Structure 1
C-alpha cells in the first residue's frame, strides 16, 4: 500500500514575497491533496455503517479538489504563466496530468455510485482504485513546484503581474467550488507547519469553521486536523 505519502518540503523564501509565493502556495496546496489521499487510504478499510456516507462525502471532496485544481491550471494558470515563461514551459506538467486524471475520474464515478446507492461500499476496492494512480500523482505534485521557482518568475514578471494572476486564479477557483465541502476540506487537510494555508481572509476562516462545515460536519472527522487546524489524536 503506497500511502502514507510524506508531505512535500516547502520551497525556500518568504510566503509574503510575491515572487516566492507561487511555489510556496502551490506546495502547500499539494500537501493538502496528499493529506487527503493519505486519509482516504487510512480510513477506507475501517469505515462501516453510518460512517460510510460521511466518508464518501469526504473522499469526493478530496477528489473534486484535486481535479478542480488541475483543471484551473490547464485552462487558466498555466496559459497565463506561459505568456511570460514561454509557450510549452508547463507542457510537461500538463502531460503528467494525463497519466492520472482518467483514473481520478473513474474513482469519482465509483464514489458517486456508492453515494447514490448504486454500488456497495468496498474499502479494499477503494484503496485499490486510489493506488492505481496515486504514485504517479504524488510524483507529479513534487515535479510541478520547480516550475514556479522564484528566480524564474522574477526574470519575466513584475510583482503586480503576479498579484493579478493570483487574484484571477482565486476568483475563478472560488466561483467554481462548493463552499460546504471545499472550504472545510482545505482546513482539515491542512499542515500544521503551514498554518497560513489556505490563505483565507479571517472572516472566511470563521465562516468555514462555524457555517460552511455544518452541512457535512461528520465528513470532516476523517481529516488529519480538526476545524481549528489542530492535529487529531490517532486512535487504534
Structure 2
C-alpha cells in the first residue's frame, strides 16, 4: 500500500521545529520552508511513480501537471536568488551568505531544464511521451534536488544568530513568487501536494490563509484544470491519497 503514496523515490524531510522544539521566527520560517520543500518532493514522487502507468488518453493532463510542478520549483528558486538571498546578504552585511545554496541550485538546474524541454516537446505531440525517458531525466537531477531541499531549511534556522527580520524578508520573497508565477498553476500544484496531516497535523493551517480563500483555491481555481490535479498526492482536504494512476480502478477503467 505504501507504494500507492508519494513517499518514494525521494524521502520527506522533517521540520526544524520538530527537530529542536524551538519556536523563534527563524525556526518557524525554516519549518515553513521545509513544508514547501515537502510539497516539491511529493510532486516529484507523484510524477515519478505514476509516469509508467498513465494511460495515453491522459498524457496531455499528466504532461501539463508535470510542467506545472517544474514551474513551481523554478519559481521558488528564482525568487530565492532574486530576492531572498540578496536580502539576507544586505540584512546581515555578509556578501555571499547563501552562495552554498546557489551552488546547490546550479547542481540540478540543467537537469530540470532538460526535464522541461522534453515535456514541452511531448505537450506538442502527446503520443511521443515515454515514461522511461522521463524517469531517466528525473534520475539525473533527483539526488542533487533532494540534497538541497534537505539542507536549506536547516541553513535558514541557523541564521537566528543574526539580528534581522526574517519574517519580512520571507514575505517579500513570497510576494515576488506570486507576482511572477501563474496563480492558477502555482497554488493548486502546491495545495494538491501539501500534506496537512504531516507531523501529526501540526502545520494544518499552513499556508496562513483564511479558510474561505483556501476553499476557493482548491475548489474554484483548481476546477479550471482539474484534469491536471488528479495526479496530485493529496486531495482537496489536504490528506494524502492513493496516486491516481496506481489505483486498481484506474488500470481497469
Same-fold status (TM-score > 0.5): yes
Structure 2 segments unaligned to the other structure (5+ residues): 1-6, 249-253
Q: Does 1:103 align with 2:108?
A: no
2:178 maps to which of 174, 186, 196: 174
Q: Distance in 2 between matches of 1:62 and 1:197?
A: 19
Distance across 2 between alignment mates of 1:19 and 1:130: 32
The aligned residue for residue 21 of structure 1 is 28
Report the equivalent of 2:14. Answer: 9
What is the match of residue 193 of structure 2? 189
Q: Equivalent residue for 2:146?
A: 138
Using the TM superposition, give the Cα deviation of residue 66 of structure 1 relative to its aligned residue in structure 2, in angstroms. 0.7
Hey, which bits of structure 1, 4+ residues long, moved more than 4 A? 13-17
Match 1:42 to one of 42, 45, 49:
49
Instruction: Kindly report the root-mean-square deviation, in angstroms, between the aligned alpha carbons of the 2 structures.
Output: 2.1
Deviation at 1:119, TM superposition (A): 7.0
CA contact (8 A) 2:59 2:127 kept: no
| Partner Cα separation in structure 2 for residue 114 and residue 139 of structure 1 | 28
* Residues in 2 aligned to 1:180 and 1:118: alpha-carbon distance in whole angstroms: 22
Q: Give the 3-state SS of the residue equivalent to 1:77 in structure 2.
A: helix
Q: Displacement of 1:164 after TM fit?
A: 2.0
Task: Confirm whether residue 33 of structure 1 aligns to residue 40 of structure 2.
Answer: yes
Say whether residues 1:205 and 2:214 are aligned partners.
yes
Could you report, residue by residue, the CA deviation over 1:46-96 in whole angstroms, capped at 9, with x for unpaired residues? 112221111111111111111111111111101111223311111011011
SS in 1 for 2:208: coil
Q: Which has the higher helix share?
A: 2
1:129 aligns with 137
2:236 corresponds to which residue? Answer: 227
Q: Where in structure 1 are there 5+ consecutive unaligned residues?
A: none
Aligned residues: 231
TM-score, normalised to structure 1, is 0.90
Quote the offset at 1:115 in angstroms.
1.1
Q: Output aligned runs, 1:37-76, within 5 Å.
A: 37-76=44-83
